[in-house]
């Protein structure tokens, strides 16, 4: 019997690599936040505007990005987008004032808009449902791995050569990825070296290789109440994880007076824990439980809601008495959120109408980034008026409670099975 092949996992690694580059670009502004504030004379509220600029444009392009991914495919769209990542990094590095920094971050938001949506679409095309949990954890886990690596690396670069050097470094990495993507990514139907046994395994397992859609499919997705509830639940997840991503270095520096490089090392720990938790629980364990005969929707709902509930321990970090204790609570919180993430990102590939995986992913990430943009600004304002980060972190606990309720309602096993087409039931 012909070996099944491992090409799909190489593609999964390429998708994860792109997400690592994305989050390296995004994290750079958080690491440079104190230096930028000092150079341009910004207070916390003004700094919040700079930190959230990326999210404004990233949010606005999610719906069109989802449609474009469905219409044009992942390969062509990412070729254009990844080249713009490098341009945005260069523009930030040479910015002469806070205005040009904001404009460069807005460009980066537009350029990186299709990234997570495209990864979700590509995963649905390349992987059978039986491997979808681990495959999704691979690209979403890359977000946590990127944060783990980016904070100390960028903190070192910026400590040695200044904050502008960090953005030059990001631009160089983006150029390298663009070349690798151009050479290495195709959809399964266009990948000439994909073996017939692996191709059959992918397609028979429920992969959505030729899933293309348009305006009609997009409208069908928007009419689904379940899709909207799932998207709102994802926004609650994104609100919390992104305020931690954006504000963690500043929180550690202001609350505990740690230095830039030290804050980068501290920030690495929670993301390392989150990476392991996502791959081991949100990916491997979920797939294993489903393959062993557990009800797929019971597994998914339980992991999602328990992960968000565990994420609520972020409330304890704001009142921690030492940086080590704060990092400990953040590690627990991010581990819980990381466990939930691949299940949430896998839902478009399971629940979206035909031709609308990108559209549903775009809607999810639109609400996610809208919540993030508001959350980054609100966190800066609450920290400014209250004098500490305890209040905004406690507010995030309430947001996660709403997310738990939404997912618990939307993913009731009996009702979900009725919504999924009968021909897909044996696969999910």
pLDDT digits (tens, 9 = 90+) for 65-78: 888 887 788 888 89
Residue 31 region by backbone torsions, left for phi larger than 0, else alpha for psi between -120 and 50, else beta: alpha
Q: Residue 333's pLDDT is what? A: 94
Residue 209 pLDDT more than 70?
no
Segment 394-404 shows an average pLDDT of: 95
Domain ranges across the chain:
7-206+213-422
- Between 13-22, 143-152, 276-285, 337-346, the lowest mean confidence (pLDDT) is in 143-152
Residue 364 pLDDT more than 60?
yes
- Decide which of 423 and 105 is more confident: 105
Q: Residue 426's pLDDT is what? A: 35
Segment 228-256 shows an average pLDDT of: 86
d(CA 58, CA 68): 15
Residue 407 pLDDT more than 90?
yes
Residue 427 pLDDT more than 60?
no
For 403, the token pair is 């997310």
- 82-114 pLDDT tens trace: 999 999 999 999 888 888 989 999 999 999 988
Output Rg (C-alpha) for the chain, integer angstroms. 20
For 66-96, give the DSSP string.
HHHHHHH-HHHHHHHHHHHHHHHHHHHHT--
Residue 425 pLDDT more than 60?
no
Residue 422 pLDDT more than 50?
no
Q: Residue 363's pLDDT is what? A: 87
- 35-84 pLDDT tens trace: 888 888 877 777 878 887 888 888 888 888 888 887 788 888 899 999 99
pLDDT bucket at 181, cuts 50 / 70 / 90: very high
Kindly give the residue spans of alpha helices, DSSP state H, lying in 352-387. Answer: 357-386
Residue 365 pLDDT more than 80?
yes
Q: Residue 2's pLDDT is what? A: 45
For 395-408, give the DSSP string.
HHHHHHHHHHHHHH
Mean pLDDT of the chain: 84
Residue 213 pLDDT more than 60?
no
pLDDT bucket at 1, cuts 50 / 70 / 90: very low
Q: Residue 172's pLDDT is what? A: 95
Residue with tokens 């309720």, as numbered in its chain:
405
Q: Residue 212's pLDDT is what? A: 58
What's the pTM?
0.75
pLDDT bucket at 248, cuts 50 / 70 / 90: confident
* CATH code of the domain made up of 7-206+213-422: 1.20.1250.20
Q: Residue 226's pLDDT is what? A: 86
Residue 293 region by backbone torsions, left for phi larger than 0, else alpha for psi between -120 and 50, else beta: left
Percent of the chain that is helix, strand, coil (3-state, to 5): 85, 0, 15
């Amino acid at each position: 019997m012909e070996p099944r092949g491992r090409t799909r996992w190489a593609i999964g690694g390429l998708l994860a690599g792109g997400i690592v580059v994305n989050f390296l670009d995004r994290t750079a502004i958080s690491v440079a936040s104190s230096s930028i504030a000092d150079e341009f004379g910004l207070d916390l509220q003004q700094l919040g505007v700079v930190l959230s600029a990326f999210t404004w444009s990233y949010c606005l392009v999610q719906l069109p990005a989802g449609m474009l991914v469905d219409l044009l495919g992942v390969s062509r769209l990412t070729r254009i987008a990844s080249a713009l990542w490098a341009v945005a990094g260069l523009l930030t590095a040479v910015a002469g004032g806070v205005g040009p920094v904001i404009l460069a971050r807005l460009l980066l938001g537009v350029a990186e808009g299709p990234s997570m949506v495209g990864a979700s679409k590509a995963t649905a095309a390349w992987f059978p449902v039986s491997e979808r949990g681990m495959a999704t954890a691979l690209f979403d886990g890359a977000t946590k791995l990127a944060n783990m690596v980016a904070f100390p690396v960028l903190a070192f670069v910026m400590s040695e050569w200044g904050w502008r050097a960090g953005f030059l470094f990001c631009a160089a990495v983006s150029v390298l990825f663009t070349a690798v993507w151009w050479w290495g990514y195709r959809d399964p139907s266009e990948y000439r070296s994909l073996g017939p046994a692996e191709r059959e395994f992918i397609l028979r397992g429920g992969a959505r290789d030729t899933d293309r859609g348009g305006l009609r499919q997009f409208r069908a997705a928007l009419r689904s109440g379940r899709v909207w509830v799932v998207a709102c639940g994802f926004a609650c997840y994104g609100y919390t994880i992104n305020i931690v991503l954006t504000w963690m270095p500043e929180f550690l520096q202001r609350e505990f007076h740690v230095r830039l490089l030290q804050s980068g090392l501290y920030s690495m720990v929670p993301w390392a824990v989150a990476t392991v938790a996502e791959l081991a629980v949100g990916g491997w364990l979920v797939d294993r439980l489903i393959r062993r005969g557990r009800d797929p929707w019971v597994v998914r709902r339980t992991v999602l809601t328990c992960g968000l509930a565990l994420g609520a321990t972020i409330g304890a970090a704001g009142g921690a008495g030492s940086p080590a204790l704060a990092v400990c609570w953040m590690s627990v919180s991010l581990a819980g959120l990381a466990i939930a993430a691949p299940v949430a990102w896998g839902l478009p590939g399971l629940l979206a109408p035909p031709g609308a995986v990108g559209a549903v992913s775009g809607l999810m990430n639109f609400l996610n980034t809208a919540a993030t943009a508001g959350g980054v600004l609100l966190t800066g304002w609450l920290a400014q008026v209250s004098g500490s980060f305890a209040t905004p972190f406690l507010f995030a606990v309430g947001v996660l409670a709403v997310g738990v309720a939404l997912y618990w309602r939307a993913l009731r096993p009996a009702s979900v099975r009725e919504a999924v087409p009968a021909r897909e039931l044996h696969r999910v």
